[in-house]
Structure 1
C-alpha cells in the first residue's frame, strides 16, 4: 500500500508524489473514530456545549448577584438561600460536563486506553514483540518479534501466499532492499517522499507538524468542555482536512493556536519537508547513491518486461512480493502501527486498460460488507453495508478487477480473525486521489487507536510503468496481435522543440514530456482551446507549476494508420498490505479477559483462529507420571509429523494454570494425558472437552486446525469429557 503521508496538499494532488499515496498509507493511519469525516460535530455534542455555555452564564450571573447581596447587607438567610441555589447550578453544570465528556470520548476514552494497555502488556510479557535493543534503551520505531510473534507473522504470510499467490497463480519475486537512486528518482520518491517537520528552535528536537496539530485539536475537544460549539466544529474540521493542508497552512494553524514543543514549551520553526528514506552508498567509493526501499513495488515494475515474457507475453497477470521496507519516521508512535522497518506484502496486477473485467469476479460479487464511498464521507454520513456487485454496477467501484481484489482482501482479513463489524473499505476522497489514479480504496480496521488503514487497493492506471519507461528508455509495454490488420485512429502530439526551448529554456524537456503524456480527452480539449483562444494554461507536474502553452508550441491531430498489433502500457491494480498493522489489529480483535474459576482474577485470552495461532496445540500429562510423560511425547511426535506446531508442558503445576498459560498465548487446543489409552482435548474459548484415543489425536487436531471440519462437528463425533480440572 503505499503512500499516505500527511504532507503538502499541492504535492499530494499533483505529480510524482502521488506515486507515494499508495505506499505511505502504511505510515499514516487515519485515526478519526467518528464517521463524521467532513469534520462536522454531532447534534448531541452541539446541544451539550450550548447548554454548558448557558449554565456557565447563569452561574456567573448568580455569582454577581450574591456579591451584590453581600455588599448591600442582605440577611444571612437570604444569602444562604442564594448560595444554595448557586451550588445546585454548579452540580447541574458538572452533570452536563460529564455527559459532554461521554459524548466526546464514547468508547475511545479511558476504557480504550486501558484495553490497549492490557493488550500491549500481555504481548510484551509473553514476548510476541518487544522494543528492539531494549538493554540499550531501544530505538523508537524499531521492534523485535519474539517466538509467538514470529509464529503468528509466519502463519499470516503463509495464508497470504495461499490466498493470493497460489489462488491467483501469481509470479512471486524477491528483490533487494537496497535500491539505486535512479529507480527511486523515476518513481518520485527521491523528490517527494516527505513529511512536514518542525523543530524546537532552542533544542533542535524534531516533530511531525501534522501530529502536533492533531494532538492539539483532539486534546482541546476532549478536555476544554467550555469550548463553544462553533470552535469545536472548527477543530473537527481541521482534523478532517489535516492531510490536505499545505506547509504554509499547517504553519499558520500552529501559530494561530500557539502550539509549542511538547517537551520544552519552546517555539517551533515553520514546517519544512523531510525525506523519509534511509540513504546509503553502494560500493566503497561512495559514488553510487542508494536508498533502503520505502516499498517493494518498484522491484516488480522494473522487472515487468522479463515477467511479461516469463508469462508467455500474456495479460492479465500479477506479480507479488513480500519483504522489508524502511521509512525514517520523524516521530514514531502507536507501537507496531508506525515503525521504521516493517513488512509489506504487495501485488501488482497488470491488466489491459481497455478491459478491466475479471474472470473470477462472480465469486465475490455477492459479498456484503461495510463500505464508505466518498459521497457518504463528504455528506457526513456513516459507512454502510453494500453488496460489492451493486457497488460496481452503480459505478461506486470503478471496475471488476478492482472490486475482485477488494472482495478477496475482505475474505483474507476476516478469515485471519479480523472482526467484520470493525472492518470497512473507505474510498479515497478527491483530494487524496493521485491525478492518474482511476479509483482507490483502503481497508481500514478499527482498533483502540481508531480506524487504521491496513491495506490499500488502488487502480493506478499506467503511471508506474510509464515513469520507468521514460527514465530508462526501455519500453515496458504489452502487445495485442490482431487477427487481421486494423485501421486505427491514432492521437499524434508533436511538441515544437524550438518554440518550447525559446519559452522555457532548461525546462523544455519536461514540458514536452508532459504534453506527450496527455490522454486523448486532455489533448483534444487543449487543441480546441488553442484554436479558439490561442493560449492555454497547462499544468506540468514535474515542474510543480502551471505554464502557458501557445498554439505554435504543439501540434495535436488524429491520423488513420493501419496496424497489425496494438502496443500499450498496462494498467496496474495494486493491493498493498501492511503486515505489521494487520497483525496488531488482529491482536486487539482476538484479545479478551475472563474470570478465573475462583473468580479472584481476570485471565487474558487470545482467541486466534487455528489458522494463525502461534502454537496449535499443547500437550501435558495431568500429573507427573513417567507413563503419562511417555504418552505425551508420543502424541507430540505424531503432531509434529502431521505438521502441527505443538508444545509439551511437564512442569507439574496445576492443570488450570497450564490452561491459563496456553490460553494467554492463543493456543486453540490442549491435550491432557490422564491415561495411556485415551486423552482429553480441550477447546480454548468454549473450554469444552472430548475424549479421544491416543492414536487419533493428531488426525483430529489436524482436521480442525486446517479447517476441514469445525469444533462443533468434532463435538458430535467424540464423547464429551467433564472434569473439575477443566476450568481455571
Structure 2
C-alpha cells in the first residue's frame, strides 16, 4: 500500500480484486451510484441480512413482510415524500455537473451536518469560502441552490395514467399494509414488523463507493406500541455500555462523548424514550457480535434542525471509516405520524381497538339527518353533506346549538336547518376505544454495514516472516466458512480425501471452497484475504499413520494449526465457528502443528 493510499481506496481495490463489490455495468461505461456485489460480497451481505433477521425478527418475535418496491403516487403523497424528500442541489455554470451543496460545504469547511442549514445560508457559505466545482474547478458563488426530490418516478402500466415511484425506504410498504397485518397480530399491541429489501434514491452526487448509492438495501423494523401502556424490556439491555454523542454536546465547542449504559442514559433523559433506548442496546450488542470495531462506533443524536418533522427523537449509529463518520442505522420515535397520515388519505382503518379495564358510560354526539330534505336540497352532494354533519358533530357539538348548521364540502359552504340535522347527545356504554399506535423505527443500512465490516476487519501482519493482509471477519458473516485443500494436487489419494471432506462439510451446512492451485501458503493467503475463518488441509501425515485419518484445521487470525481426526472434523468446526468452543480449546485438546507448516 502506498503512503498516500487511503483506507477507502485500499478497500475499493480489495473489494474489486476479491469479488466483494464493484461498479455496475462497466462494459457500458457504468452508472454512478450503482454497484454489483460479487461472489464474496453477495455472500457476506446475505449473511449480514440473516444475522439481522435472526436478532430483530426471530428473537424479538416479530412478523416479516416483503412489499413491492414500486408503489402508487398517493402512498407518497400521504407519507410526505412528494413534498419533503429533498436534498440541496447546486449546478456548475461551466461544466454542468450537479453537486450536493451541503456536502461541498462539509468537505471544504469545518462545518458538520450542513444539511440542517437553510438554503440562503448555504448559498452564503459557498460564496464566503469560495467553493469550487470538484469536476472542473469553476467557482460556484452566486449559483442558486435548489431543492431536488430524490425519488425515482415511473408509470404503472401502459401510458402515464397511473404514476408511481420506486420506494425511497422500505417503511411505507409496512405502514400501508398495517390494516391487514394488525389482524395477524390479533389486533393486540405491541407488535413489530420487519422488512429487508431494496430502496432507491436519486442521489445528486453518489460517493464513497457503496456508502452513498442510488440503489441500496435496508433492514427496517417498525415497532407498533400503545404509548400509554406498552414498555420495552429495558432490563435486558440496561447494563449495555454505549458511546453517545448527544445534540447538547455537539452544540458546544468543547463537547464530547458520553460513555454510559443504556439504563443510565434513559434514566437521566439523555435518551428521551425507553423504546429508543432499548433498540440502541440491542443494536450495540448486535453490531459488536457481527464484528464492528466498537472503538470506531458511536450513537449520535440528530440536531433539532436535522431531525425529521415527525420524529420526537432520533439517533444514528455511526461507524468511523477513513476518518469520516458514516451513518449505518437510524433509530427514530415516529409517533403516530405515519399511520395517521395513511388513515387520512387511505380507504382503510389504521387504528387498533384498545379494551378498557371496565366498561365506561360516555356521552356521544349523534346526528341523523333527514335525507328526505337533504336529497332534494343538495342533490348529488347530499351524501357528502350528511358525512360532513357527522364529522362536525364528533369534532364540535357546539356547532349545532343554533338554528342553522354550516358545513363545508369541497370548498363550498352549505347551510342545514338544525332540526333537519337531528342532532342529540346520547349516553351509551363502551368497552374500549380506537387508538392510533405509535411507531419506533430502527432502520439499518445493509450495504453500509458491509462496508464497515470490511473496513474494520482489514488487518496486516507477518506469518513465517512474510507480510500478509487478512480480513478478520466474524465467522457468523464471513462469505465462506471453510477452505479445504489437498497439500499437493498430484497425489490422487489426497485429492480424493479432500473432495470427500468438501462433500461432508457441505452436507453439514458449511459454505466451503476447494482450492488445489498453487503452493499451500499462497492458498492460505487467498483465503485470509477474503476472510475465510478456517482452512482444512489434507496431507500425507494425516493419512499414513497407524491411527485414524487426520487433517489440520488452521485458524485465520493467528495462523495456528491443529491436527484433528477426520471423524471429529464436522463437530469441532461447528463448535468453533459458532463460538461455543474457542480455538484455544482445540489447541489444548489436539496436536499443534509446528510453525512453518503454513507454507
Alignment TM class, shorter chain as reference: 0.7 to 0.9
> Which residue in 2 is equivalent to 1:717?
589
Structure 2 regions of 5+ residues with no counterpart? 366-387, 397-425, 544-548
Structure 1 regions of 5+ residues with no counterpart? 1-109, 218-235, 492-512, 517-522, 524-558
Pair 1:190 & 2:82 matched: yes
After superposition, the Cα gap between the structure-2 partners of 1:259 and 1:401, relative to the gap in structure 1 and judged at 3 Å, is: closer
> Which residue in 2 is equivalent to 1:438?
312
Q: More helix per residue: 1 or 2? A: 1
Cα deviation, residue 560, structure 1: 11
Deviations, residues 376-397 of structure 1 (Å, cap 9, x unaligned): 2223321132111111111222
| Contact 1:369–1:420, Cα closer than 8 Å, also in 2 | no
> Which residue in 1 is equivalent to 2:509?
643
| Contact 2:32–2:206, Cα closer than 8 Å, also in 1 | yes
> Which residue in 2 is equivalent to 1:355?
229
For residues 563-712 of structure 1, the aligned pairs below 5 Å read 563-599=430-466, 602-624=467-489, 625-651=491-517, 653-674=518-539, 675-676=542-543, 677-712=549-584
- Give the whole-Å Cα distance in 2 for the aligned partners of 1:112 and 1:642: 45
Cα deviation, residue 721, structure 1: 1.7
Residue among 103, 112, 123 paired with 1:240: 112
- Give the whole-Å Cα distance in 1 for the aligned partners of 2:576 and 2:300: 34
Cα deviation, residue 317, structure 1: 0.2
> Which residue in 1 is equivalent to 2:134?
262
Residue among 342, 359, 366 paired with 2:216: 342
> Which residue in 2 is equivalent to 1:97?
none
After superposition, the Cα gap between the structure-2 partners of 1:611 and 1:465, relative to the gap in structure 1 and judged at 3 Å, is: same
- Give the whole-Å Cα distance in 2 for the aligned partners of 1:595 and 1:703: 27
> Which residue in 1 is equivalent to 2:263?
389
After superposition, the Cα gap between the structure-2 partners of 1:255 and 1:565, relative to the gap in structure 1 and judged at 3 Å, is: same
Pair 1:120 & 2:16 matched: no
Q: Which of the pair has the greater relative contact order for Cα pairs under 8 Å at 6+ separation?
A: 1
Cα deviation, residue 373, structure 1: 2.1
- Give the whole-Å Cα distance in 2 for the aligned partners of 1:612 and 1:183: 35
- Give the whole-Å Cα distance in 2 for the aligned partners of 1:604 and 1:315: 50
Deviations, residues 438-481 of structure 1 (Å, cap 9, x unaligned): 22111111111511111101111100000111111432001111
- Give the whole-Å Cα distance in 1 for the aligned partners of 2:139 and 2:550: 72
Pair 1:374 & 2:247 matched: yes
- Give the whole-Å Cα distance in 2 for the aligned partners of 1:215 and 1:372: 21
- For the aligned residue pairs, the C-alpha RMSD in angstroms reads 2.4
- Give the whole-Å Cα distance in 2 for the aligned partners of 1:257 and 1:396: 35
- Give the whole-Å Cα distance in 1 for the aligned partners of 2:498 and 2:464: 26
Deviations, residues 69-97 of structure 1 (Å, cap 9, x unaligned): xxxxxxxxxxxxxxxxxxxxxxxxxxxxx
Q: TM-score, normalised by structure 2?
A: 0.85
Cα deviation, residue 293, structure 1: 0.7
> Which residue in 2 is equivalent to 1:214?
106
- Give the whole-Å Cα distance in 1 for the aligned partners of 2:113 and 2:23: 33
| Contact 2:8–2:208, Cα closer than 8 Å, also in 1 | no
Aligned residues: 531
| Contact 2:464–2:595, Cα closer than 8 Å, also in 1 | no
Cα deviation, residue 134, structure 1: 1.2
- Give the whole-Å Cα distance in 1 for the aligned partners of 2:134 and 2:427: 65
- Give the whole-Å Cα distance in 2 for the aligned partners of 1:657 and 1:581: 30
Comparing 368-377 with 606-615, which one deviates more in the overlay?
368-377
- Give the whole-Å Cα distance in 1 for the aligned partners of 2:435 and 2:291: 41
